[in-house]
Amino acid sequence: MLSKAKMAHRAACLLLVLCMALGLIPLNVLYADVTRADDDVSAVEVPVLAPPAQAPGRPLELHMAYIFGDDLGNFHPGVAITRAEVAAILARVRIEGFSQSGLPSNMIVFDTFSDVSENAWYYRYIAWAYATGLVLGDPTNNEEQRNFRPNDPITRQEFAAMVARTIQLRYDEPGSTQFDDWDIVSDWAKSYVYNVFRVYWIVGDDLGNFRPHANITRAEVATVINRILGRVDSWGVFTRANLQNPEHIRVFPDVSEAGWYYPSVVGATNDHRLQRDSAGEIDYMEILP
């Protein structure tokens, strides 16, 4: 014979099932809150139950990896990214018909940049990027040639310019910004910096500075590109999404799961599909093998 405690427990379970069947209890009540502040690594809570599968009727977006690690399997999140690496990223994600095996039809021979060797890994990326107006390079004494400086680290204002040209932003005249160091932004870059800030693609640091002449890191670039492409770019989005196949996430020894950049690195280095809720927020992410 069942004890009173066991009978009460069984009755409660039956009542819960009945309420769920009648739609009286929303599904989200059954799951722990997994939202978190973007800079609070300790706030993550593990869901009590497995989240529901992808919602039917909403389109799945396919996103391919656009940045990779080195030959030793490291990502180098805090290392300054080079101008050639940025050109490669922009070519992969923004140039329709991009091919690593061929050059644009209007560039039978690419010799615009005197410092870009035909044997270099980045040759075709830069050729494509120049042909489509993403990169311009520096003028030289030779009117027919320019310098690209492919192995130089790219500064934050140079990166802002490349990004703005790539996306073909609607330009507003530079107005007041929240940057305390606005006066040291180069005149040629002010319009680019202002407009990428206006759409919240690139923001300043905690002290209110843009640091236009500082080098931008690989992790920062991944975060910005993810924002532009509508991919996961922060802990808040990452922990709210129903993540499928996390065992397939590409692992880098120098990328900590506790790092602020971890969600951005996952979104940038893994082929994945994602789905958005009715408000346009990412709520489903599937890592592809």
Tell me the per-residue pLDDT of 79-108, one tens digit each, with 9 for 90 and over: 999 999 999 998 888 776 666 666 666 665
- Are 33 and 71 contained in the same domain? no
pLDDT tens-digit map of 248-265: 999 999 999 999 999 999
- Are 106 and 199 contained in the same domain? yes
- Are 86 and 178 contained in the same domain? yes
- Are 192 and 69 contained in the same domain? yes
- Are 26 and 67 contained in the same domain? no
* Residue 41, pLDDT score: 34
| Residue 243 pLDDT > 50 | yes
User: Out of 33-47, 54-68, 210-224, which region has the weakest mean confidence (pLDDT)?
Assistant: 33-47
Instruction: Tell me the β-bridge partners of 243.
Output: 285
Confidence of residue 15 (pLDDT cuts 50, 70, 90): very low
**Buried-state track 158-176, b at ≥16 Cβ within 10 A, e below 16:** bbbbbbbbbbebeeeebee
Does residue 214 belong to any structural domain of this protein? yes
* Residue 142, pLDDT score: 79
* Residue 99, pLDDT score: 65
- Are 148 and 275 contained in the same domain? yes
pLDDT tens-digit map of 142-177: 777 889 999 999 999 999 998 888 776 666 666 666
Confidence of residue 10 (pLDDT cuts 50, 70, 90): very low
- Are 14 and 87 contained in the same domain? no
110 vs 158, which has greater pLDDT? 158
Nearest to 49 by CA among 253, 242, 266: 242
Number of domains in the chain: 2
Does residue 77 belong to any structural domain of this protein? yes
- Are 33 and 176 contained in the same domain? no
Does residue 159 belong to any structural domain of this protein? yes
What are φ and ψ of residue 153, in 5° steps? -60, 145
As a 3-state breakdown, the chain gives helix, strand, coil percent values, each rounded to 5, of 35, 10, 55
Cα 210 to Cα 169, 201, 284: the distances in Å are: 19, 12, 33
- Are 24 and 77 contained in the same domain? no
CA distance 40 to 234: 11
- Are 154 and 33 contained in the same domain? no
* Residue 184, pLDDT score: 93
User: Out of 162-171, 231-240, 274-283, which region has the weakest mean confidence (pLDDT)?
Assistant: 162-171
- Which domain covers residue 272, as residue numbers? 61-287
CA distance 3 to 204: 63
CA distance 280 to 264: 18
> To which H or E segment does residue 93 belong?
helix 83-94
> To which H or E segment does residue 275 belong?
strand 272-276
Locus of tokens 């932003």: 169
Identify whether the C-beta of residue 232 lies closer than 8 Å to the C-beta of residue 264: yes
CA distance 273 to 49: 22
